[in-house]
Structure 1
């Protein structure tokens, strides 16, 4: 084939180290715009970004010239620096190692965009841990619960 044709829709999910609630509503839009810039500069199409104080969801159209692992590494590295340089937190900001990446078909786009954009409403009913384990089960991904998250304090 002479050209490359792809249709790759991916939801990426990752948490603040220790699941500490460091993403405040006062600056979350700035963080999301910064991450959107990283994604667009790497030729991906941002479809939705949102999260909670302790984690983030990114839904994008993946450009085939980049790998998910390289993209996530760059997002985390650059946004860690962004958060710390701007002193948005009284504590050093860092993302937890690891992430979830889940693929979807074109007909799922509206549903996933709506899901990502309505995170705050969604999490009134379900914890991040419950949500993440549901993703792993839905996508039939084997896991060991003791390795899913690094927890600080008593928050399970």
Structure 2
């Protein structure tokens, strides 16, 4: 399988992240309707940030995203945009359902503060290291 590179004004890139968000207090609150809405929100946020939501799925207490990112993005800001937009919309649209799990009005979070992000890519790290080591030395 060949690596697909994206092009920007001054860059060619392939930046992909596997991101995991966990619900606040690890509550089992995600149902099919919430999962569907999350996909929609994450896709919209990614599009606005010049990213692409490549893959998305989840279970009742966490979700997995595979995001193809643009180099203009600051990773922590991208995470913040994804979490805040999704939390705000989910808490608003599913307010009645979520009241049975989250009752504190002063803490409107849907996600825990933590997250997991792992870079993904084509070649294994050892192959990339060997490729870099094998580059020809400049002639002096």
Does TM, normalized by the shorter one, top 0.5? Answer: yes
Paired residue secondary structure (1:106): coil
Find the counterpart in structure 2 of residue 136 from structure 1.
none
What is the CA-CA distance between 1:104 and the residue it aligns to? 1.5
What is the RMSD computed on CA atoms of the aligned residues?
1.9
Q: TM-score, normalised by structure 1?
A: 0.62
**Contact 1:36-1:46 at 8 Å conserved across structures:** yes
Find the counterpart in structure 1 of residue 43 from structure 2.
36
Q: Does 1:84 align with 2:91?
A: yes
Normalized per residue, which structure has more strand? 2
Q: Does 1:23 align with 2:26?
A: no
Can you give the 5+ residue segments of structure 1 that lack an aligned partner in the other structure?
109-156
Q: Does 1:102 align with 2:114?
A: no
**Contact 1:49-1:59 at 8 Å conserved across structures:** yes
How far apart, in 2, do the equivalents of 1:25 and 1:107 lie? 34
How far apart, in 1, do the equivalents of 2:69 and 2:54 lie? 10
How far apart, in 2, do the equivalents of 1:45 and 1:26 lie? 22
Moved over 2 A (4+): 90-93
**Contact 1:9-1:106 at 8 Å conserved across structures:** no
Can you give the 5+ residue segments of structure 2 that lack an aligned partner in the other structure?
1-8, 103-108, 125-140
The within-5 A match list for 1:2-81 is 3-81=10-88
- Equivalenced residue count is 107
